[in-house]
Structure formats: structure tokens, C-alpha cells
Amino acid sequence: MAEEKKGFFKRLVSGLTKTRDNIVAGFDSIFSGFSSIDDDFYEELEEILIMGDIGINATTSIIENLKKEVSERRIKEPMECKQLLINEIKDQMRVDSTEYEFENRKSVVLVIGVNGVGKTTSVGKLAGKLKDQGKKVVLAAADTFRAAAGEQLTEWAHRAGVEIIGGQAGADPASVIYDAVAAAKARNADVLLCDTAGRLHNKKNLMEELRKIYKILEREYPDAYLETLVVLDGTTGQNALAQARQFAEVANVNGIILTKLDGTAKGGIAVAIQSELDIPVKYIGVGESIDDLQKFDADAFVNALFDVDHKETPDAQNYD
Ligand SMILES: Nc1nc2c(ncn2[C@@H]2O[C@H](COP(=O)(O)OP(=O)(O)OP(=O)(O)O)[C@@H](O)[C@H]2O)c(=O)[nH]1
Ligand SMILES: [Mg+2]
């Protein structure tokens, strides 16, 4: 278990290399380049945070809080700001453990998002994770739009060792959900994970489709806890933020799965989403294999970003 945690932290550190190069290299040059903490210093810090996709909101509060701390503690050396900055960034992105309630009760998890962001992959990875925790998982292949979508999820179901309920291509997604609910009830499943189609919906179609699905869930499975997760592609930076905002307008979004953080310089978007929209990033994806999805942990994320403490930190984190 500890080995596994370490392994993931290592992958996180290496996955965030580009983001780190993008943000942290800039910090270091400021911390060592400035001899005093003045307006120029703050301005440059602000610029790096904005360029690192951390978002206006988070950047503003990080800088304001930093100024306050610096003056209260009478800090004079730019280098001494580094740890304060790390702490401020962490504070922007804490996720309460109650946010994972759906993992611990009978639940339905609806996974939505636009084309190609990693919905099916994330459903597969999440299935593997929950199965490993000893949970009974059923998958609903409610992407009936793309012909190959069912096969793709079936492969994941085999990999994770869980059951899958699908429908014919072109079938009504709500009818697949209906069948999947029946299966989940019959097998006394802990979690029903629903993959959905990612075609670019217009807002009206999306609302209509979600409304039908929610209606079936409310009617057929009223005792299941409903969790709606939006999947966002971390490589798309500000675009991901805009998508999250749009989905939040049409659905009761409980959280975000942020994928493809490996190999992107835009990982700072994780901070922006949390701070701008107040929707927690609950999972992050840092690769294509089944183990490459983990609960988001602000401390581990920011430590990985700054590449600090990564020898001691993993065991102290709540990766499970
Ligand atoms: N590197 C990397 N690739 C990922 C990650 N998550 C998903 N992918 C890849 O992204 C591609 C698209 O993933 P899918 O899971 O098919 O995306 P989707 O949202 O289901 O796509 P549609 O159903 O077509 O809308 C695949 O090649 C995945 O392997 C990740 O965390 N890291
Ligand atoms: Mg898919």
C-alpha cells in the first residue's frame, strides 16, 4: 500500500513536470532575483500565477493573503515567502473528506463532459479503484451515440473486473440507465457508474437528456445517493474552466475529474476551477492506465508541483 502511494506520488511529480517548469521555475527566479519585497515583486508573482492558469480569483486571494502574512510576520526576504506561497496555494484548493460520501454509500455516479476529455477512461479507472476497495460496482454504458463506446467501456469493465450493462447503438441513453438501475438493484451494487456520450451537445439537448436520466434515477432508485461528476481535460486550460461553468449551469455538479495532467503545462487550472467555481476537483488523471486516477489531494498536488517533501509526504497523505 505504501509502495503504491509512493508510486502514484512519483507519477504525479513526473506528470506535473511541465506545469512545474511553467510556474515554479518562474517563482524561483523571483525569489532569488528580488532583493526586497516590493510592488514589483508582487506584480511578477501575480503574472506568473495568471500565466500558470491559476485564475484571476485564486491569484488575487493568494497575493492578498501573502501580503497580509508578510506584513504581519514582518518578513523582509523574498526567499522566506516561498513556503507562505505554497501554503496559500494549498488553502485555495482543499477538498473536504465529506466530498467523497458517494464512495461510502449506495450511489449512482453520473459522469458527463464534452468529447474526448476522458470520461470512459475515468469511469474505467474509478471502477477499478472502487472494486479494489471491496465495493460491488456496476457500469452503465449510456454512451449509445458512438458505436465503439460500448466496446471501449466493456474492455475497462474486464480490466476492472466489474459488470457492465449496455444498449444498442442509437438506443435512448435513459433506457440504458433504466436497465442498469435494475441490474444494480438486483445485484445489490454499492456504486452504479454511468458513462455518457460526449458529443457536443447544445445546452437544450443536454438539459433534456439529463432531465430524463435524473427522472429515471429519482423514480427507480430513490434511495441511491446521486453524484454528478464533470470530466475536464487538463491540457485545455482556461477552456476547461469554461466547460465546467457551462455544465454547472445545467446540472447539479458535485465535483470534477481533471484528466491528462501528465504532460501538460496547464495543471494550474486545478487551482482555478476550485477557486473560481467553488466546485471541488475530486480526482485527477495522470496517465492512461487503470492506476492513473487518484483522489485529489491539495497538499500532495502542491508538493508535487513544487517538488518538495516528496520523500516523506506520501505516507502522510490520504491516498487510498
Ligand atoms: N495521458 C492521459 N490520457 C488520458 C487520460 N485520461 C484519458 N486519456 C486518454 O484520452 C483519450 C480519450 O479518452 P476517453 O475516455 O475515450 O474520452 P471520452 O470523454 O470518453 O471520449 P468520448 O466518449 O469520445 O466523448 C484516450 O486516448 C485516453 O486514453 C489521462 O489522465 N492522461
Ligand atoms: Mg467515452
pLDDT digits (tens, 9 = 90+) for 144-162: 988 899 999 999 999 999 9
pLDDT greater at residue 61 or residue 199: 61
Whether 195 and 143 have beta carbons less than 8 Å apart is answered as yes
Whether 271 and 89 have beta carbons less than 8 Å apart is answered as yes
**Contacts of residue 239, Cβ cutoff 8 Å, sequence gap at least 6:** none
| Ligand 1 atom at shortest distance from the alpha carbon of 259 | 31
Residues in contact with ligand 1 (CB, 6 Å cut-off): 113, 115-121, 143, 146, 149, 198, 259-260, 262, 285-288, 292
Instruction: With a cut of 90, say whether residue 113 has pLDDT above it.
Output: yes
Distance (Å) from CA 118 to ligand 1 centroid? 3
Query: C-alpha 319: how far from its chain's center?
Result: 14
Q: Which of the listed residues 17, 119, 121, 232 should we mutate to test ligand 1's pocket, taking the one with most ligand atoms within 8 A of CB?
A: 121
Q: How confident is the model at residue 4 (pLDDT cuts 50, 70, 90)?
A: low
Model pLDDT, residue 320: 40
Whether 233 and 222 have beta carbons less than 8 Å apart is answered as no
Distance (Å) from CA 141 to ligand 2 centroid? 9
Beta bridge partners of 316: none
Record the pTM: 0.88
118 alpha carbon, closest ligand? 1
Q: Which of the listed residues 8, 209, 257, 288 should we mutate to test ligand 1's pocket, taking the one with most ligand atoms within 8 A of CB?
A: 288
| Ligand 1 atom at shortest distance from the alpha carbon of 124 | 15
| Ligand 1 atom at shortest distance from the alpha carbon of 231 | 19
Instruction: With a cut of 70, say whether residue 227 has pLDDT above it.
Output: yes
Provide the pairing of β-strand 191-196 with 107-112: parallel
Q: Closest Cα to atom 14, ligand 1: which residue?
A: 118
Whether 53 and 238 have beta carbons less than 8 Å apart is answered as yes
Least confident span in 128-132, 151-155, 157-161, 311-315: 311-315
pLDDT, tens digit, for every residue of 234-277? 999 889 999 999 999 989 999 999 999 887 888 888 888 888 88
User: Which strands form 191-196's sheet, in the order they lie side by side?
Assistant: 163-165, 137-142, 191-196, 107-112, 225-233, 255-259, 281-285, 293-295
Q: How confident is the model at residue 129 (pLDDT cuts 50, 70, 90)?
A: very high
Q: Which amino acid is at 149?
A: A
The torsion angle over the Cα atoms of residues 23, 28, 34 and 36, rounded to 10 degrees, is: 90
Q: How confident is the model at residue 1 (pLDDT cuts 50, 70, 90)?
A: very low
| SS3 assignment, position 22 | helix
Provide the pairing of β-strand 293-295 with 281-285: antiparallel
